[in-house]
Structure 1
Amino acid sequence: MTGSPARARVTSGPAPVPAWCADPYAEALRAGRGPLYLRRPDGWLLPLDVERWCARADAADLAVLGRCTGPVLDVGCGPGRMVTALARSGRPVLGIDTAPFAVARARGLGGTALLRSVFDPLPGEGRWGSVLLMDGNIGIGGDPAVLLDRVRALLTPGGLLLAEAARADIEERVEVCLDDGGGGRSETFHWARLGTAALRRHAEFAGWSVVEEWSAQGRPFLALRRT
């Protein structure tokens, strides 16, 4: 669930460390569980599903992977459950993430992953058949329009973006930090949260065609085609 965060600093508590490279995130991945939260400046906390990220791909994940076409790029691959599931099935796939421990874990499970932001130069630009934005990664960078444009450049003409929306009917752009619930925090970074309706609006405004909408295990997804 990671992109290229801004490098502002929180103003209270322990000295923060860079987001997604932070000890709270790395420690949660090492343990395979939370607590880990996104924290807004007003103190509101969004629990992050570290246990699911560190487990094998579940039925909802596999339903997404079954819709992929061509070679697959997993943006913000985290500890690599989607990358390794595709690799086991013999599909060409690459994961990218800005968190060193997440990339190391994905590689350790047999996946191919690079320590890279989606906004960095990437292999195969314009030739990926499918791009994944799972686990809220449509929020990377805090500006969905910019991210959708970037993903368009990565896909082959007619390629698919498979994106997971927020469960709530929401559209917000905020500065958040990672919080372990015990005083450990990262630097703040820009993030966005889009429910299904908001994601559909952004996609259609940017010229994407909405191919399909569905939910699995309470998680909403959209399949968008590059037009």
Structure 2
Amino acid sequence: MTAPAWPATAADPYSLALRSGRGPLFLRRADGRRLPLDIERWCAVPDAADRTVLGRCTGSVLDIGCGPGRMVAALARGARPALGIDTAPAAVERTRSTGGKALLRSVFQRLPQEGWWGSVLLIDGNIGIGGNPAALLRRIRQLVTPGGLLLAEAAPVEVAERFEVRLEDDRGATGPAFPWARLGQRALRATAEYVGWTTAGQWTVADRHFLALRAPGPGGEGR
């Protein structure tokens, strides 16, 4: 087990941004570079790129790091069984307020229906959760049904890196440091296949890059 995606309190920059539905919000790296987080898009309804992900979901759906819950709420509106998990209370609250089901939980904690989820979502940069993509992808294999599907979003550039970050808003307020990672499409595919996933598809919409990854079927082996 590892730490949650990022430490969250009622007054940390991430929680405040989720409650307002507005940024700007960044992940600040130790080297001073800032990675913008698209809070406004996350708090809106699913866009065209999101809909390509939703349309590929099969069975019950688990959204890891669901944030304000746009994907879970959209699935609920379509009468699809779906659950979001997030380590920020504000994210869980907002997801529930829009009609989605959500739990305050890390992916590395015990979850409902382990081994029975038909599809798992890992979008909006959430391949970075825990700072160790291989460990995260192994954990997700424990969550999906044999032959289940992982729909994952890659970084917009080809990169493979692990580092520490802090959440920061435009007023300079920051949260505690936590590990994070970024993988471009090629690196995500290679890492996933190394730990036992099979690539079932890849596509790009509006400069967002996605992979559909298939877990081994019954009796399948993997790293």
TM-score, structure 1 normalization: 0.92
Match of 1:136 in 2: 125
Counterpart of 1:225? 214
Partner residue of 2:79? Answer: 90
Instruction: Give the count of matched residue pairs.
Output: 214
Once residues 21 and 145 of structure 1 are traced to their aligned partners in structure 2, the CA distance between those partners, rounded to angstroms, is 30
Q: Please, what is the CA RMSD of the aligned residues?
A: 1.2
**CA, structure 1 residues 22+200, in 2 after alignment: closer, same or farther (shift >3 Å)?**
farther
Where does residue 220 of structure 2 map in the other structure?
A: none
* 2:95 aligned with 1:101: no
State the shift of 1:19 in Å: 4.3
Corresponding residue of 2:163 = 174
Distance 1:185 1:215 in 2: 33
**Whole-angstrom distance in 2 between the partners of 1:22 and 1:133:** 25
Deviation per residue, 1:152-201 (Å, 9 max, x gap):
00000000000000001111000001000212000000000000010011
Q: Does 1:81 align with 2:63?
A: no
What does residue 4 of structure 2 align with? Answer: 4
Query: Residues of 1 paired with 2:71 and 2:59: CA distance?
Result: 15
CA distance in 2: counterparts of 1:21 and 1:164, whole angstroms: 28
Matched, 1:209 2:198: yes
**Is 1:59 aligned with 2:48?**
yes
- Taking the aligned partners of 1:158 and 1:165, their CA distance within structure 2 comes to 21
Q: Secondary structure at the match of 1:94?
A: strand
Give the Cα–Cα distance (whole angstroms) in 1 for the partners of residues 69 and 129 of structure 2: 17
Q: Which runs of 5+ in 1 are unaligned?
A: 7-17
1:120 & 1:22 partners in 2: Cα distance?
Answer: 24
Aligned to 1:125: 114
Query: What is the Cα deviation at residue 63 of structure 1?
Result: 0.7
Query: Match of 2:87, as an amino acid?
Result: T
Q: Which residue of 2 aligns with 1:159?
A: 148
Instruction: Determine if contact 2:158/2:184 at 8 Å carries over to the other structure.
Output: yes
Q: Equivalents in 2 of 1:125, 1:216: separation in Å?
A: 31
Shift, 1:29, TM fit: 1.2
Structure 2: unaligned runs, 5 residues or longer: 217-223
Conservation of the 8 A alpha-carbon contact between 2:5 and 2:106: no
Give the number of the structure with larger relative contact order, counting CA–CA contacts within 8 Å between residues 6 or more apart: 1
CA distance in 2, matches of 1:120, 1:165: 24
Aligned to 1:72: 61
Task: Normalising by structure 2, report the TM-score.
Answer: 0.93
CA contact (8 A) 1:22 1:186 kept: no
> Which shifted more, 157-166 or 176-185?
176-185
Moved over 4 A (4+): 19-22
Q: Percentage identity across aligned positions?
A: 65
* Partner in structure 2 of residue 193 of structure 1: 182
Give yes or no for contact 2:168–2:174 (8 Å, CA) kept in 1. Answer: yes
With over 3 angstroms needed to count, the CA separation of the structure-2 counterparts of 1:81 and 1:89, relative to structure 1, is same
* 8 Å CA contact 2:8, 2:89 repeated in 1: no
Query: Structure 2 CA distance, aligned partners of 1:205 and 1:196?
Result: 14
Q: Distance in 2 between matches of 1:96 and 1:20?
A: 16
Is the CA contact 1:19–1:187 (under 8 Å) kept in the aligned structure 2? no
Distance 1:67 1:5, change over 3 A: closer
CA distance in 2, matches of 1:31, 1:112: 20
Which one of the candidate residues 40, 47, 55 is aligned to 2:36? 47
Q: Secondary structure at the match of 1:74?
A: strand
* Structure 1 residue 5, shift from structure 2 partner: 4.0
